[in-house]
């Protein structure tokens, strides 16, 4: 894949530490994410991915280190950060007792989008996701794959600069995963930065750059192609196994 990295660094992390008592969840992380790129944040369960993503979203504060997201500081300007990001958590967290359109209207309303615009764009979105028949159905009765696609669409409905996806495809069938990644590409083509964590290593191939976390540290950070060359591996799975065994 050919692409030119934007010079604008939309996420800057320098020497980030996050400690819970004596446990260090994030151990000296330093990395940047450039505008418009799909940045893969890989690691085994418990490697500290979710902890880092929560800090970047302004949901928790670092123990030390410098972190800027969309030009704002995570210590003091979390509300400004929140205006510029979308977030999809590991656990499905739209309101299950609201319908598809009610969820869209509710979240879009929080970001201050006008009623008229919400209505128009909801219709377009519902059509695109093929949810016309269930748009007035409570979300709890939808299959997981549909829910995940909807959650992603709601997370980017307000057209944020960055969208954080925390294991968006876990538990989803391969076809839906494929469709999900098509949606991610579409967002990235619109100059949205995508920060995605996953433990499916085949998905890492779809990213512009990936970082691999082991025990709270970033052990490798480069494009999938360079990583495979460097570790002399056939695919990302091998890269990961070599790193984890180190």
Partner 1 sequence: MMLPIIFVMPLIQLLILVQAATFEMKHIRMHLIDLDRSSTSRELISKFQGSPFYEITNFSFSEKEGEEDLKKSNADIIFQIPKNFEKDLKTNKKAKVQLVINAINSAAAGVINAYTISIISDYNRQIIYEWNNAPLNFQASSINVNYSYWFNPELNYTNFMVPGILVLLVTLIGALLSGMNIVREKEIGTIEQINVTPIKKYQFIIGKLLPFWFIALFELGFGLTIGKLLFNIPIVGSLWLLFGFAAVYLIVVLSIGLLISTINNTQQQSMFVTFFFMIVFILLSGLFTPVESMPDWAQKVDIINPVAYFIKVMRMILLKGSGFYDIRKEFISISIYALVILSFAVWRYRKTA
Q: Which of 52, 94, 188, 213 binds partner 1 (CB under 8 A)?
A: 94
Q: Which is nearer to partner 1, 51 or 208 (CB)?
A: 51
Q: Which is nearer to partner 1, 2 or 110 (CB)?
A: 110
Q: Is 148 in the site for partner 1 (CB under 8 A)?
A: no
Q: Which is nearer to partner 1, 56 or 212 (CB)?
A: 56
Q: Which of 1, 110, 124, 175 binds partner 1 (CB under 8 A)?
A: 110
What does the DSSP assignment read for 55-90? HHTTSS--SEEEEEETTEETTT-HHHHHHHEEEE-S
Tokens (6 digits) for 218: 């970033």
Report the C-alpha gap between 211 and 173 in whole angstroms.
25
What does the DSSP assignment read for 43-57? E-TTSSHHHHHHHHT
Cβ distance 192 to 159 under 8 Å?
A: yes
* 115 burial type by CB count under 10 A (0-12 exposed, 13-18 middle, 19+ buried): exposed
Q: Is 82 in the site for partner 1 (CB under 8 A)?
A: yes
Q: Is 83 in the site for partner 1 (CB under 8 A)?
A: yes
- Residues 57-76 contacting partner 1, CB under 8 A: 57-61
Q: Which is nearer to partner 1, 61 or 228 (CB)?
A: 61
Cβ distance 156 to 192 under 8 Å?
A: yes
- Residues 39-58 contacting partner 1, CB under 8 A: 54, 57-58
CB of 233 to partner 1, least distance (A): 35
Stretch of 20-28, 80-88, 204-212, 224-232 lying at the interface with partner 1 (CB under 8 A)? 80-88
Cβ distance 82 to 158 under 8 Å?
A: no
HSE of 75, CA atoms in CB hemisphere, 13 A: 9
Residues near partner 1, by CB under 8 A: 54, 57-61, 78-79, 82-83, 85-87, 89, 91-96, 107, 110-111
């Amino acid at each position: 894949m050919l692409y030119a990295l934007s010079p604008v660094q939309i996420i800057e992390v320098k020497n980030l530490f996050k400690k819970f008592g004596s446990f260090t969840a994030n151990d000296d992380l330093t990395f940047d994410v450039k505008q418009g790129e799909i940045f893969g944040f890989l690691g085994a369960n418990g490697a500290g991915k979710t902890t880092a993503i929560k800090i970047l979203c302004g949901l928790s504060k670092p123990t030390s280190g410098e972190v800027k997201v969309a030009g704002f500081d995570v210590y003091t300007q979390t509300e400004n950060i929140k205006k510029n990001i979308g977030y999809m958590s590991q656990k499905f967290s739209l309101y299950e007792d609201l319908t598809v359109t009610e969820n869209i209207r509710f979240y879009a309303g929080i970001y201050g989008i006008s009623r008229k615009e919400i209505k128009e764009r909801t219709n377009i979105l519902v059509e695109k996701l093929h949810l016309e028949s269930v748009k007035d159905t409570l979300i709890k009765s939808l299959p997981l794959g549909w829910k995940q696609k909807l959650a992603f669409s709601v997370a980017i409905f307000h057209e944020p600069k960055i969208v954080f996806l925390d294991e968006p495809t876990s538990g989803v069938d391969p076809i839906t995963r494929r469709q999900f990644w098509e949606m991610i590409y579409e967002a990235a083509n619109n100059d949205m930065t995508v920060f995605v964590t996953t433990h499916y290593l085949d998905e890492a191939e779809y990213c512009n750059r990936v970082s691999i976390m082991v025990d709270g540290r970033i052990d490798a950070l480069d494009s999938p192609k360079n990583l495979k060359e460097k570790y002399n591996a056939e695919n990302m799975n091998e890269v990961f196994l070599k790193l984890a065994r180190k």
